[in-house]
Amino acid sequence: MLTQEQLQQVLEPLFPGLMGVRLTEVTPERVLGELKVRPDLCTTGGIMHGGAYMAFADTLGAVGTVVNMERGKRTTTTDSSTKFIAGAKMDTVVTGECIALHRGRTTQVWQTSIRNADGKLCAVVTQTQLILD
């Protein structure tokens, strides 16, 4: 299994690194991360853009899948559903907790709860990851 630090290094040159996704805990059952709400991740009114929520959650679920799949396999998201509940203000930090709902050989399902700096639930994202040879 790759370490949290190794997984972070994999993310750095990719889109999650550009967004500023930081992994804070990685286990086979749960992935925690954080993301600073910068102006370039916001929509009008200085609130985090819905696409940023989705991309943050997608990253955490993909990391969880990578930790659980056999060496030499790949993964891709096949389905994602987002429920937006509250906003996160610019220049704050959101946290994501991604938990495994199903960890099979060919598919995995992960659910991410994203909270703002006040601890208020902002979004819930459920995604299915397909595991490929």
Report the pLDDT averaged over residues 114-121. Answer: 98
Structure-block tokens of residue 68: 């659980």
Structure-block tokens of residue 26: 């990685």
Please give the model's pTM, rounded to 2 decimal places.
0.97
Q: Which of 21, 20, 26 is nearest to 6 (CA)?
A: 26
What is the chain's Cα-based Rg? 14
13-48 residue pLDDT tens: 999 999 999 999 999 999 999 999 999 999 999 999
Angle made by CA atoms 45, 48, 52, in degrees to the nearest 5: 145
Rounded Cα distance between 85 and 35, Å, is 18
- DSSP annotation of 46: T
41-90 residue pLDDT tens: 999 999 999 999 999 999 999 999 999 999 999 999 999 999 999 999 99
CB atoms within 10 A of CB 46: 14
pLDDT of residue 1: 82
Rounded Cα distance between 54 and 64, Å, is 15
Structure-block tokens of residue 125: 């994202």
92-110 residue pLDDT tens: 999 999 999 999 999 999 9
